[in-house]
């Protein structure tokens, strides 16, 4: 059975997957205990994070201040703007327009990205950096990364000649793996 990626399960757990995407994920997760467990873990993690209090910040005061600022902004906007609401709404026209947007969007994304990227790739210098998922070499929109995957990254160090080394311990076997990504000319 092909399982959805963890990224997608995280979106599902957070209620952030799109409607069709959610439908597909729900259908899989209903019949897959492994994925049900992962979704439950993500939900528990979200709850844990949402329950976490940060004592150094007065959230209530911050929220009140933001509400006040938004209120002032809305009132100022109302003074200078008339609101026009479309009265004649045609579902057929909306559907056709949405389809057109999908088509144009797909065309944009599926056009050979090199045409769009060329200026970025050629001008941006390669950057070697640690990320949440591993050690990544990036140039413009192209990238090459060694991923943490199932192992625990215990350490990382930089060689000023142009390399980042990451060290991992396998949780099951205890063996140490060391990866190096090189920053080349």
Partner 1 sequence: MFSCSNKYTWLAAALIAFASPLAAQETALDPANSVKVDLPSDSPLELISKSLGDSRATSRGGAIVLDLHMGLTLRNAGSKHVRGVTLLVTAQEFAPGGKGSVARPSIDVAPGQTFTLPVDIRLVRPVQQTSGPLVHVQLDGVLFDDLTFFGPNKLNSQRALTFWEVEAQRDRAYFKQSLQARGESGLGEEMRKSIARQADRPQLDVSLTRNGRASGSAVPSTDRPVQFAFLNLPDSPVQPLEGWAAISGNEARSPQIEIINHSGKPVKYVEIGWLVKDKQGQEYVAGSVPTSESTMLLPSGQRTRLLQDTALKFSHTGRAIEIEGMTGYVSQVEFADGHVWVPSRHDLDSSPLLRVTAPSPEEQRLADIYSKKGVAALAAELARY
Q: In the complex with partner 1, which residue's Cβ is closer, 54 or 109? A: 109
Cα 157 to Cα 164: distance, rounded to the nearest angstrom: 6
Tokens of 108: 């944009």
DSSP H or E segment with residue 20: helix 19-30
Q: In the complex with partner 1, which residue's Cβ is closer, 39 or 153? A: 153
Query: What is the closest distance, in whole angstroms, from the C-beta atom of residue 9 to partner 1 in the complex?
Result: 13
End-to-end CA distance of the chain: give it in Å, rounded. Answer: 43
Query: What is the closest distance, in whole angstroms, from the C-beta atom of residue 31 to partner 1 in the complex?
Result: 18
Cα 18 to Cα 16: distance, rounded to the nearest angstrom: 6
C-alpha 36: how far from chain center: 21
CA torsion 111-115-116-118 (nearest 10°) is 150
Query: What is the closest distance, in whole angstroms, from the C-beta atom of residue 87 to partner 1 in the complex?
Result: 18
Q: In the complex with partner 1, which residue's Cβ is closer, 57 or 125? A: 125
Query: What is the closest distance, in whole angstroms, from the C-beta atom of residue 52 to partner 1 in the complex?
Result: 15
The dihedral built from the CA positions of residue 146, 42, 50 and 16, taken in this order, carries a sign that is positive
Tokens of 180: 């190096």
Q: In the complex with partner 1, which residue's Cβ is closer, 23 or 144? A: 144
Count of residues making up the chain: 185
DSSP H or E segment with residue 174: none
Query: What is the closest distance, in whole angstroms, from the C-beta atom of residue 172 to partner 1 in the complex?
Result: 10
Q: In the complex with partner 1, which residue's Cβ is closer, 69 or 177? A: 177
Query: What is the closest distance, in whole angstroms, from the C-beta atom of residue 80 to partner 1 in the complex?
Result: 36
Q: In the complex with partner 1, which residue's Cβ is closer, 40 or 95? A: 95
């Amino acid at each position: 059975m092909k399982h959805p990626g963890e990224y997608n399960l995280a979106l599902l757990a957070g209620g952030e997957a799109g409607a069709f995407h959610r439908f597909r994920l729900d259908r899989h997760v209903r019949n897959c205990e492994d994925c049900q467990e992962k979704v439950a873990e993500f939900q528990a993690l979200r709850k844990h994070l949402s329950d976490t209090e940060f004592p150094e910040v007065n959230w209530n005061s911050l929220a009140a201040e933001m509400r006040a600022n938004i209120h002032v902004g809305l009132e100022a906007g109302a003074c200078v703007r008339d609101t026009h609401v479309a009265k004649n709404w045609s579902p057929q026209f909306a559907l056709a327009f949405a389809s057109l947007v999908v088509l144009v969007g797909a065309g944009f994304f599926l056009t050979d990205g090199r045409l769009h990227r060329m200026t970025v790739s050629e001008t941006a210098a390669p950057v070697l950096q640690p990320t949440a998922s591993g050690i990544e070499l990036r140039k413009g929109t192209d990238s090459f990364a060694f991923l943490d995957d199932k192992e625990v990254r215990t350490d990382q160090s930089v060689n000023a000649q142009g390399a980042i080394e990451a060290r991992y311990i396998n949780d099951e076997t205890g063996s140490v793996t060391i990866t190096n990504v090189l920053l080349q000319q």
